[in-house]
Amino acid sequence: MRFFCNLQTITRQETMKYDVCIIGAGPAGYAAAMRALDLNKSVILIEKEKVGGAGLYNGAISSKTFWELSKDIQTARRRLAQYSPDQHFSVTYQQVLGQVRGGIANRRFHLEGQIEGLLKQEGIRLRYLKGYARITDAHTVEVQTGTDKELIEVENIIIATGSSPRKLPNIPIDEKIIVTSDGVENFENFPKSLVILGAGVIGCEWATIFSNFGYTAVNIIDKADRILSFEDDDVTDVVEANMRKQGITVHKKSNLLSMKIADGEVEYIIEYTDGRKEMHRVEKVLVSVGRVPNTKNLGLEEVGVTLLPNGHIYNNDGQTNIPNIYVAGDISSDVALVNVAELEGRHVIERMYGLSNEDLTYNHVSTIMFVQPEVAGVGMNEKRALKEKIPYKVVKIRYDMIPRAIAMRNNDGFFKILVTNDNEMKILGMRAVGVHASSAIQAVALLISMDKGVEELADMIHPHPSIIEGIQECMRMLLGKSVLKPQFFKGMLMCKSCDENGCTNDIVYLK
């Protein structure tokens, strides 16, 4: 495999005014550049570090490769214990890192290789420049490459500089002993003990990863009384039960009082809401308390781009208060996900050139949480429906009732679907918890985006045996024509009507 490491050495030098200048070559910036080239626009793509951004090197590809490997190793260890208990299974952290870096290299090959090919292709008006960009006025960008500076004249600008892990001033993060997600690859070995500050998605994913490998005692510090507090309780109940089963300790309702490095390890003190205090000592710490937009040193204040109090850039459907300057990805105030960033990057190009007259909607964004078991979702959950006082019907089937899950001997999970509480029963949202969860939600996401009801999936012939047959049975329950009836499988099948006052008893026929 060939790698493309020196893109800045093969850029075409052209004296011209570019149609689009894109600052940042992460998921949003890269997608925007490719969409602009589709429209035969001249593009200059500026990146200060690496093509692919945090989504490739410290985010989705990296952490999810860790997760897949940890899951495989956990399964291999369990199978070996089941069938060959005398055999011993082990793996080193460096072996795992080798696989992770191989996955990153594969994706890097795609992204950088395509840019190199485009730069050499006649008729493609693309320039890639590695350097630090600063907007000097609405139509000029200054780029510093080493000791050299260059002024670029542009018609439109897209800011797609992404985000970085949030750091706390009272925590001595050195990215070796106390790390953010950027520093996990700096570990030389599996830590014997690890505490994670923050029980959001990233914190819970890394807790799952290290516990799956089986070499690390994992603790989580969380201020809330539930992990993943934005999700429905039945979702977090399953995840938290598996955390306990895997030996993960969650310090709920706790606040970090102090943390310091001592003799190559970390001492920290936490205080619970009841006043109790505890001191702990661990080998490593992972700080996972959110991310902050990368807006510094871009010249935004000088040119008058409006920043929000949380550091994000004010925008109306991707357009800032300066008409020819746009934003996409984590730096905007919208959902910080790779798939959303790519969508936003493409959307602002289409809006820029009059191909899109409708605002981007986030009602059918699909998400995955790589925990144990896998959690996927689209649209609203029950917490949001209740908060917004939207009456709804909810139907649920446990994996125990799905033939494929039974065959896999892996029935820990469920499907849950929300629809409007009327005769149309348009789909509001779905949560999938369990094996193949991320592969199960897309059909429902499509129906949400089309503002459709449940009949299409209820009557479709699904492959058998497959996990998605559970979705079909949910739709049939809503229509009162399920094969298996809820009244005979209490706790396994459920169909209810809900509003801000609560839910009814189980309903068999809702037509």
pLDDT in tens, 190-205: 999 999 999 999 999 9
What average pLDDT does range 329-335 have in this prediction? 82
Contact 429, 377 (CB under 8 A): yes
Tokens 């047959």 label which residue?
A: 469
Q: What confidence tier does 51 reach under pLDDT thresholds 50, 70, 90?
A: very high
What average pLDDT does range 320-349 have in this prediction? 91
pLDDT of 297 reads: 93
Reply yes or no on whether the pLDDT at 75 is more than 60: yes
Tokens of 38: 């589709």
Reply yes or no on whether the pLDDT at 316 is more than 80: yes
pLDDT in tens, 97-115: 999 999 999 999 999 999 9
pLDDT of 454 reads: 84
Rounded to whole angstroms, how far apart are CA atoms 222 and 254? 6
Reply yes or no on whether the pLDDT at 429 is more than 80: yes
Q: How far is C-alpha 327 from the chain's CA centre?
A: 19
pLDDT of 46 reads: 97
Whether omega for the bond prior to residue 373 falls within 30 degrees of 0, making it cis, is yes
Rounded to whole angstroms, how far apart are CA atoms 462 and 458? 9
Reply yes or no on whether the pLDDT at 7 is more than 80: no
Average pLDDT, the chain: 90
Rounded to whole angstroms, how far apart are CA atoms 25 and 158? 11
Reply yes or no on whether the pLDDT at 14 is more than 60: no
Question: Cα separations (Å) of 21 from 44, 133, 325, 329?
Answer: 5, 10, 10, 15
What average pLDDT does range 64-74 have in this prediction? 94
> Nearest 5°: phi and psi at 157?
-130, 135
Tokens 């959307």 label which residue?
A: 347
Tokens of 188: 């030389």
CA dihedral 479→482→486→489, nearest 10 degrees, is -160
pLDDT in tens, 379-427: 999 999 999 999 999 999 999 999 999 998 888 999 999 999 988 899 9
The model's pTM is 0.90
Which of 132-146, 329-343, 364-378 has the weakest average pLDDT? 329-343
Reply yes or no on whether the pLDDT at 435 is more than 80: yes
